[in-house]
């Protein structure tokens, strides 16, 4: 029996543009339905529509939603409050914005317990500690009294999951629940959700752009594009033979070892903006299989071999599914490495490296008492040695908190090193005034690292002016135009502000800013962690092209092992401040 039934849901902006345009799907008790697609397709707005939590200026304009037989759109707001958190709960995409900054995390979880289970203070506090322990937060008895600003991004995400599970919901909506988590915590959180699902018979709507998460957790999948579901199938059907050209391109954009010397199949263009969706198929402008009918007539929903697809290729055209239409399976771990045996050499044996790090240490003092005496040291980086030659990529992988970003900042002298040596192009950097413009960093969150009050032209020119690159402003602007061409952005976009760009475009701006001062080494800190697979493919292609053209070296910090396999020449694994 279906627990949730969504029938022709329509959500519109006040100006009439449809964000969610007539989507239908069902979820049974104990089943996981994954909603897959690029940013801007309407996935999160679908979830907010079900919860009746739409922002100002957006409203449900049609369709019906039934949860366990109750019509949600007909309930008064008082009754809907009982449904939210009790029968239906949501894990939001951005935990930093969803947690109350002036309440301890325990108090926020206790609110859910008090509202839906009527528990006393002592029992509620014990249950809060139990929930935090379940989601993998260490020292839960102490953390329960801490505030969101005292927790890392991954910990805040786990607090959000604990809050969602506190009400024992029958339906859990998980909006990108593992985006900010490294692979080990991701596996732990997903296992927790599966165990809870098995125990309670809970249904789950999983919103994600991570095909690996879909492969491991979903029973059925809906692929969403520009407000519509364009393909719906079981997990096995989708991964065996994706039908819609958009789904096929999402699979083709995944990095794997067999394409290490070739560019990834990035999808050209972007999701059409609201209100500008042309007549016909919405994917036609980006589809290499489109013909005149696709631009003139909107395709109907068609059933093919027990699954649904919205595409003219399957509507009485004589088209048949061929093996060549589906992407062949990914290779097993370790396959295809025979021809890359030279990459397996220990990095410490590289002759004449561009960057040579020897026994680098970064320690932070632990202070206690009224006089703040030093009582110990946090060894964030504890004797790291590595080397990167010209034109090569060294990947640094490891869990959150193991010291990867601290190491990167110490190399750039943004943090003081306690001991050790960092030599760049034969010159010692630690304890000297040597210039560091030849090393630049691309930060994890491009929006947070770009000044929101500066136009792109000003952001790119800032470093050039400081280092006196270019004869005058006109010469620098000409160089900026060349940089924008290089990273695939229009020249006139330099007069826009960061908030006017998508996530992938902002990351391109961050790369252009790093390249503006002609570095030899780029330190990339999780540059693709929050990007869709199609945008990730564009960024990885760009980095490879720049490396070949400019002979750049990369220190690539990531927890995505597929990206490591595709991009890196050498790999270092870091754990608790050391290369293991």
- What the block records as the tokens of 113 is 């317990």
Whole-number average pLDDT of the chain: 85
Q: What percent of the chain has pLDDT above 70?
A: 91
Q: Region 149-169: what's the mean pLDDT?
A: 85
How far is the C-alpha of 454 from the C-alpha of 276, rounded, in Å? 28
Residues of the chain within CATH 3.40.50.300 domain(s) are 2-240, 347-579
End-to-end CA distance of the chain: 50
For 384-418, what is each residue's pLDDT tens digit? 999 999 999 999 998 877 889 899 999 998 899 99
pLDDT tops 60 at residue 322: no
How high is the pLDDT of residue 331?
36
pLDDT tops 60 at residue 176: yes
pLDDT band of 335, cuts 50, 70, 90: very low
pLDDT band of 258, cuts 50, 70, 90: low
Q: Identify the top-confidence range among 46-60, 92-106, 419-433.
A: 46-60
pLDDT band of 152, cuts 50, 70, 90: confident
Between 193 and 9, the more confident residue is 9
pLDDT tops 80 at residue 143: yes
Between 351 and 378, the more confident residue is 378
pLDDT tops 50 at residue 299: yes
For 184-235, what is each residue's pLDDT tens digit? 778 888 888 888 898 888 999 999 888 888 999 999 999 999 999 999 999 9
Q: Residue 557: count other Cβ atoms within 10 Å of its Cβ.
A: 24
In order, the DSSP letters of 267-333 are PSS-PPPTT-PPSS-TTGGG-TT--HHHHHSPPPEEEETTEEEE-GGGSSS-----GGGSPPPPPPT
Q: Is 57 helix (H, G, I), strand (E, B) or coil?
A: coil
Phi/psi region, residue 427 (left: phi>0; alpha: psi -120 to 50; beta: rest), is beta
Q: Region 61-87: what's the mean pLDDT?
A: 91
How high is the pLDDT of residue 420?
94
How far is the C-alpha of 59 from the C-alpha of 13, rounded, in Å? 7
How high is the pLDDT of residue 274?
67
In order, the DSSP letters of 472-500 are SHHHHHHHHHHHHHHTT--GGGGGS-GGG
How high is the pLDDT of residue 320?
45
Between 94 and 427, the more confident residue is 427
Residues forming a β-bridge with 572: 396
The architecture in CATH of the region 347-579 reads 3-Layer(aba) Sandwich (3.40)
Q: Region 477-504: what's the mean pLDDT?
A: 86
CA distance readout (Å), 20 to 45, 49, 218, 226, 231: 7, 9, 22, 8, 15
How far is the C-alpha of 493 from the C-alpha of 508, rounded, in Å? 12
Whether 385 contacts 570, CB under 8 Å = no
Q: Is 368 helix (H, G, I), strand (E, B) or coil?
A: strand
- What the block records as the tokens of 275 is 């209100």
pLDDT tops 60 at residue 129: yes
pLDDT tops 90 at residue 28: yes
For 516-532, what is each residue's pLDDT tens digit? 988 999 999 988 876 77
How high is the pLDDT of residue 434?
65
Phi/psi region, residue 150 (left: phi>0; alpha: psi -120 to 50; beta: rest), is alpha
> In 450-569, at which residue ranges do the beta strands (DSSP E only) sit?
521-525, 553-558
Fold of the domain spanning 2-240: Rossmann fold (3.40.50)
Q: Identify the top-confidence range among 277-281, 418-422, 488-492.
A: 418-422
């Amino acid at each position: 029996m279906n627990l949730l039934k969504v029938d022709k849901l329509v959500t519109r902006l006040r100006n009439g543009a449809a964000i969610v345009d007539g989507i239908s799907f069902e979820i049974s008790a104990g089943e996981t339905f994954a909603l897959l697609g690029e940013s801007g397709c309407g996935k999160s707005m679908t979830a907010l529509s079900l919860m009746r939590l739409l922002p100002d200026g957006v409203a449900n304009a049609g369709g019906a939603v039934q949860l366990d037989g109750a019509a949600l759109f007909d309930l008064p707001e008082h009754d809907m409050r009982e449904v939210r958190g009790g029968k239906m709960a949501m894990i939001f995409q951005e935990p930093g914005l969803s947690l109350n900054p002036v309440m301890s995390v325990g108090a926020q979880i206790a609110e859910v317990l008090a509202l839906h289970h009527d528990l006393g203070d002592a029992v509620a506090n014990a249950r809060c500690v139990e929930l935090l322990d379940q989601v993998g937060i260490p020292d839960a008895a102490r953390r329960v009294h801490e505030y969101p600003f005292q927790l890392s991004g991954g910990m805040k995400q786990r607090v959000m999951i604990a809050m969602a599970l506190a009400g024992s919901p029958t339906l859990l909506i998980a909006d990108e629940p593992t985006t900010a988590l490294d692979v080990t915590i991701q596996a732990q959180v997903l296992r927790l959700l599966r165990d809870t699902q098995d125990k309670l018979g809970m249904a789950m709507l999983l919103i994600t752009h991570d095909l690996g998460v879909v492969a491991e957790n979903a029973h059925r999948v809906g692929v969403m594009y520009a407000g519509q579901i364009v393909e719906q199938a079981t997990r096995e059907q989708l991964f065996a033979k994706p039908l819609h050209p958009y789904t096929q391109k999402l699979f083709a954009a995944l990095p794997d070892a067999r394409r290490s010397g070739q560019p990834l199949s990035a999808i050209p263009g972007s999701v059409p903006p609201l209100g500008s969706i042309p007549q016909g198929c919405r994917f036609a402008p980006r589809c290499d299989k489109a013909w005149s009918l696709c631009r003139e007539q909107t395709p109907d929903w068609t059933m093919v071999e027990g699954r649904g697809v919205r595409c003219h290729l399957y509507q009485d055209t004589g088209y048949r599914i061929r093996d060549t239409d589906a992407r062949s399976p990914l290779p097993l771990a370790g396959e295809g490495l025979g021809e890359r045996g030279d990459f397996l050499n220990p990095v410490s044996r590289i002759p004449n490296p561009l960057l040579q790090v020897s026994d680098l240490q970064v320690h932070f003092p632990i202070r206690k008492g009224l006089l703040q005496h030093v009582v110990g040291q946090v060894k964030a980086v504890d004797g790291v040695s590595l080397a990167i030659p010209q034109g090569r990529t060294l990947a640094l992988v490891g869990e959150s908190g193991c010291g990867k970003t601290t190491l990167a900042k110490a190399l750039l002298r943004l943090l003081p090193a306690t001991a050790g040596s960092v030599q760049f192009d034969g010159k010692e950097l630690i304890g000297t005034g040597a210039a560091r413009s030849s090393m630049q960093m691309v930060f994890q969150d491009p929006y947070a690292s770009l000044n929101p009050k500066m136009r792109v032209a000003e952001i790119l020119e800032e470093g050039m002016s400081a280092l006196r690159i270019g004869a005058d402003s006109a010469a620098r602007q000409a160089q900026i135009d060349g940089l924008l061409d290089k990273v695939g952005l229009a020249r006139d976009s330099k007069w826009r502000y960061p908030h006017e760009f998508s996530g992938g475009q902002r990351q391109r701006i961050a790369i252009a800013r790093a390249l503006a001062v002609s570095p030899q080494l780029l330190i990339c800190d999780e540059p693709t962690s929050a990007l869709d697979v199609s945008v990730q493919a564009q960024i990885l292609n760009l980095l490879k092209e720049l490396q070949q053209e400019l002979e750049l070296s990369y220190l690539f910090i990531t927890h995505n092992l597929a990206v490591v396999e595709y991009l890196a020449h050498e790999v270092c694994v870091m754990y608790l401040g050391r290369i293991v």
